[in-house]
Amino acid sequence: MAAGAADARGNREMRMRGSIEQNVDRNRRRLVGGAVLAGLLSACGGSGDDGQNAAGPSSTPPPTPGAQPGGTTRISLAESGGVPGASPEVLRNAFARSFSQLVASGGGELLVPSGVYDFGSYSTDADIVSAENLRNVRINAHGAHFVATSAADVTPYLLRFKNPENVVIAGARFSDLGYDPQVNWRGMHCVRVEATRASSGFAMIDCQAENVVSLFYSDQTSNRFLLTDVDIQGRLKNAYYGVDTLYVGDNVKVNLRCEDVRRGFISFGAKNADVDIQLTCNDEFEGSNGFVALICEGASAGDVENVSVRLDISGAVSHRGLVHFYHQQSEGLGAMRNIDARISANNLRSGRRAVRVEAFIFDHELPNGRILSTTTREWDRIFLHSSGVGSMPGRLISNPSVSTGTGGIFISRSLAPLIDLSGLPNYFRISPS
């Protein structure tokens, strides 16, 4: 890839996320719902809302989504020289030949033998391994450990797929030896997927990553909602992003166990998404201003609709926001609707940074970083639940941008006694059930 193209792509990613990272905490001063989470958790008695708790990922991998590989081809990466200890060039060529064979045969299975695969050092946003038009392919990588080294402030892509159809990566492990957690953009994206035509079915099952920028990344800003049916399941440690989806279409499923991850799930224009994450943080971890961020840039860009979030959090308090309902840009129209958000906070403790948490945040930020005090954007049929044991300093609800729309935010019955409803806009209501 030309250096100029890589730089442009990196700059575009930074611009897309810039409004998320800049000046948000400085502007969040109109806090409402002044009950501390300690009161919430003790009042709930650890029994959960309506008999439900946010469940973590199962230790037994679920059945692989989608159809099994449609072709009869069964090949090993080793047949093309792709064995542990091979040079980066040999490894890249082995993947290229294997993927070409699977495309030609209409699908099948690629076996990656157990061992460490070192793809070398990168000082640009390179595509280390790329594939286009894979259909009905399972990459069986149980026991395979993919390693790269970011040698500068860049974000190479270890595996990049264009227009996949029913592709599964199973059991792979990823790490970046040059990852720097103090620099936003130094470290690899494990997997990037993009679609320029309608593409359906991409899964990562039983995968894990450590010391990376992201486990899964897809930027569909230029081709909105063409990619659908994405399923990401696995474990992640010491990373900036878990799953980062920009305008990915219907049916996104995320099931992660995270340790020291700044953003578990961030999505622009999410539709029909199911997010289930367990998070624990250590005392020194920096965190972020929003672990789960649902973002709407306006109705013309795509509303956020039909989303379920379950977050089970323990360990040190590291994140200023847990679930962020985040309107952006200047357009007056836009909505988040039909969203169920559940937080289970268990035996949390104050970390070294003594972060004050806001469990649920509702705001609207302009491109210049200013948080609007009122907005015509809507939060409609949003249902909030919390449960857990122990205590944690923080506020339950922050709503710096009061909506003038006609939507409603519903507080569960067990949560409602802990909220000062008189301090909230009238669209905050007690849930009827």
- Quick: pLDDT tens for 188-228: 999 999 999 999 999 999 999 999 999 999 999 999 999 99
Structure tokens at 148: 């790269």
| Res 29: pLDDT | 32
Integer Cα distance of 47 and 309 in angstroms: 18
Mean pLDDT of 174-181: 96
User: Candidates 1.10.1060, 1.25.40, 2.160.20, 3.40.50; correct CATH number of 63-258?
Assistant: 2.160.20
Q: Which residue has the higher pLDDT, 208 or 49?
A: 208
Residue 371: DSSP 8-state:
B
pLDDT band of 292, cuts 50, 70, 90: very high
Enumerate the CATH 2.160.20 domain ranges in the chain, comma separated.
63-258
| Res 409: pLDDT | 97
> Is 185 in contact with 213 (CB distance < 8 Å)?
yes
> Is 254 in contact with 291 (CB distance < 8 Å)?
no
* CA-closest candidate to residue 224, choices 313, 141, 301, 337: 301
Reply yes or no on whether the pLDDT at 408 is more than 50: yes
| Res 26: pLDDT | 35
> Is 368 in contact with 23 (CB distance < 8 Å)?
no
In the numeric block, the tokens 């847990």 are attached to 322
- Quick: pLDDT tens for 272-290: 999 999 999 998 888 888 9
- Quick: pLDDT tens for 21-31: 333 333 333 33
| Res 427: pLDDT | 95
**Dihedral sign computed on CA atoms, order 278, 59, 194, 13:** positive
Reply yes or no on whether the pLDDT at 34 is more than 70: no
- Quick: pLDDT tens for 305-355: 999 999 999 998 889 899 999 999 999 999 999 999 999 988 888 777 767
- Quick: pLDDT tens for 365-395: 999 999 999 999 999 999 999 887 766 667 8
* Count of helices and strands (H, E) across the chain: 4, 26
Query: Cα 303 from chain centroid?
Result: 18
- Amino acid code (one letter) for 45: G
**Kind of pairing between the strands at 335-350 and 378-389:** parallel
Q: 288 in helix, strand or coil?
A: coil
In the numeric block, the tokens 């795509």 are attached to 302
Integer Cα distance of 361 and 247 in angstroms: 21
pLDDT band of 184, cuts 50, 70, 90: confident
Mean pLDDT of 56-79: 60
| Res 414: pLDDT | 80
Q: 369 in helix, strand or coil?
A: coil
Helix (H) or strand (E) holding 39: helix 37-44
pLDDT band of 70, cuts 50, 70, 90: low
Q: Which of 25-39, 63-77, 351-365 has the weakest average pLDDT?
A: 25-39
Reply yes or no on whether the pLDDT at 44 is more than 80: no
> Is 145 in contact with 175 (CB distance < 8 Å)?
yes
Q: How many Cβ atoms sit within 10 Å of the Cβ of residue 39?
A: 14
- Quick: pLDDT tens for 231-277: 999 999 999 999 999 999 999 999 999 999 999 999 999 999 999 99
